[in-house]
Amino acid sequence: MSENEAAATPDTSRGGERPRPRYGELAPEGWSWQPPAPPEQAEAEPTPAAPAVPVAPRNPVPPAPPAPLGSPAFGAPGQAAPSLRADRRLTITLLVVGLFGLWVAISTLNSIPEAMQILHSQQGLADYVASEADMRSILIGNVLQGILWVATAAWAVLRMQHGKRSFWVPLIGGAASVILLFAVVSMVAANDPLLMQLGGGN
């Protein structure tokens, strides 16, 4: 068998399937070319799930207002809150004591003429007669004592509202009240000429 005859002879070694034409050979009747099947695609990797977005509540709670400057944070650990409570109790107690001291100071100023009369009697001097300047000094002293207590109380309350220590404020107010009391008594005594002559003669 020649080479051409071998090429023209169909290949029936594959069973009932039609033979595939060889290079340079015409395709037999009824045969059609089909492209090879594409390779299987790799399984798609699972896409990562999107992070859950938190849903805002329908009625959100409004944020708490910021704490005043200098005040301790609510619920903060430490001894700040107990110490401030003790300071407030002490401050209020001192203010009440200062109110009683205000009454004592005004009573003392109003009794200056009687005290001067007793002093004149003990020293064998003439009766004491309070001048207009002495009564004016006593009146001014009473007004200043009242203003001093009110200013001291207002300052202490203001500091307590801002969360600051304020026990020392009534102490300063009490010291100023004592100084004012002695100043008025000294002015009235200095205006008494008989008492000044007695002091100069000694």
The 10s digit of each residue's pLDDT in 80-108 is 578 889 999 999 999 999 999 999 999 99
pLDDT in tens, 157-189: 999 999 999 999 999 999 999 999 999 999 998
Output 162-167 pairs: Cβ under 8 A, ≥24 positions apart. Answer: 162/68, 162/69, 162/70, 162/71, 163/68, 163/70, 163/71, 163/72, 163/84, 164/70, 165/84, 165/87, 166/87, 166/88, 166/91, 167/87, 167/90, 167/91, 167/94
Q: Is the pLDDT of residue 143 over 60?
A: yes
Asked if 105 and 177 touch (Cβ cutoff 8 Å), the reply is yes
Query: Is 92 within the bounds of a domain?
Result: no
pLDDT number for residue 123: 81
pLDDT of 149 higher than 80: yes
Percentage of the chain beyond pLDDT 70 is 58
On whether the pTM is more than 0.75, the answer is: no
Q: Determine, yes or no, domain membership for 59.
A: no
The pLDDT score that the predictor gives to residue 42 is 45
**Contact call for residues 19 and 11 (beta carbons, < 8 A):** yes
Burial 17-37 (b: 16+ CB within 10 A, else e): eeeeeeeeeeeeeeeeeeeee
Residue 176 lies in a domain: yes
pLDDT of amino acid 164: 92
Classify residue 87: in a domain, yes or no.
Answer: no
Query: What's the CA gap between 116 and 189, in Å, rounded?
Result: 8
> Per residue in 2-28, pLDDT tens?
444 444 455 444 445 556 666 666 666
In a domain, 175, yes or no: yes
Q: Looking at the domain assignment, is residue 61 inside a domain? A: no
Q: What is residue 49's predicted lDDT score, i.e. its pLDDT?
A: 57
Does 53 fall in a domain? Answer: no
Rounded distance between C-alpha atoms, residue 144 and residue 166, angstroms: 22
Domain that holds residue 148: 130-202
Q: Say how far apart CA 68 and CA 162 lie, in whole Å.
A: 7
Q: What is the pLDDT of residue 73?
A: 45
What are 101-127's pLDDT values in tens digits? 999 999 999 999 998 888 888 888 888
Cα separation, 187 vs 109, in Å, equals: 12
Over residues 24-59, the pLDDT tens digits come to 666 667 667 676 666 554 454 555 555 565 565 566
Residue 55 DSSP SS3: coil
Q: Domains in the chain: how many in total? A: 1
pLDDT at residue number 65:
61
Decide if pLDDT at 196 tops 50: yes
